[in-house]
């Protein structure tokens, strides 16, 4: 017999299960625009605009700093020449445009359901079969007979549908008591 639908703990467990199932979302870069088109939008455009944006980035401040650091100001040099400055290593990472792979982003669990996450983790230490049954019951969309077979396969022992339902009810009772104690 499935748990009672009007029980508030069951409603929270259903919301928790939906949050677990939809926890990871796929994120991908914008594929509607080509990479070079996006680069063109970010590029400064004209030479004049580039000079205005890049002012102060010609290495003068670094060469002045190095002159001060190495004490060549006493020799009449306020700034080191370009040839005397150690080069900044660079790598040619240019590659032909390609689609970025999809990345899974953890959306997390709603704050009001985090207690369930902690309680089920605590239950897993004491009653691993019950925790597995709760996770299966509220995250898998199938009949209880199929869910019991999945748990039986994962747990590696004998488990009937009647035992599955009994352990599920005990787990829900344990979580109800755990919420009242918190």
pLDDT at 1 over 60: no
The pLDDT score that the predictor gives to residue 128 is 94
The pLDDT score that the predictor gives to residue 4 is 61
Are the beta carbons of 133 and 149 closer than 8 angstroms?
no
pLDDT at 167 over 70: yes
Q: Which residue has the higher pLDDT, 170 or 40?
A: 170
Which residues are registered as beta bridge partners of 103? 27
pLDDT at 97 over 90: no
Are the beta carbons of 177 and 137 closer than 8 angstroms?
no
Q: Residues 104-150: pLDDT tens digits?
A: 777 888 889 999 999 999 999 999 999 999 999 999 999 999 999 99
Alpha helices in the chain (DSSP H): 8-21, 35-42, 47-53, 60-70, 114-126, 128-139, 144-155, 161-181
Q: Residues 19-77: pLDDT tens digits?
A: 888 887 766 655 566 656 666 666 667 777 766 666 666 677 777 887 887 777 777 77
Q: State CA 118 to chain mean position distance.
A: 19
Exposure b/e, 136-167, CB count within 10 A at least 16 = b:
bbbbeeeebeebbebbbeeeeeebeeebbbeb
């Amino acid at each position: 017999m499935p748990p009672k639908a009007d029980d508030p703990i069951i409603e929270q467990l259903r919301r928790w299960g939906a949050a677990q199932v939809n926890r990871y979302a796929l994120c991908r870069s914008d594929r509607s625009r080509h990479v070079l088109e996006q680069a063109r939008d970010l590029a400064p455009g004209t030479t004049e605009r580039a000079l205005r944006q890049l002012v102060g980035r010609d290495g003068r401040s670094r060469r002045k700093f190095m002159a001060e650091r190495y004490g060549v100001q006493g020799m009449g040099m306020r700034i080191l020449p370009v040839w005397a400055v150690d080069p900044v290593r660079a790598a040619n990472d240019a590659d032909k445009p390609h689609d970025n792979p999809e990345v899974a982003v953890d959306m997390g669990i709603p704050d009001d359901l985090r207690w369930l996450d902690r309680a089920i983790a605590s239950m897993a230490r004491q009653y691993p079969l019950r925790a597995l049954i709760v996770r299966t019951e509220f995250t898998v969309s199938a009949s209880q007979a199929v869910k019991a077979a999945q748990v039986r396969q994962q747990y590696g022992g004998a488990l009937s549908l009647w035992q599955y339902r009994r352990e599920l009810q005990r787990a829900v009772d344990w979580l109800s008591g755990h919420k009242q104690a918190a």
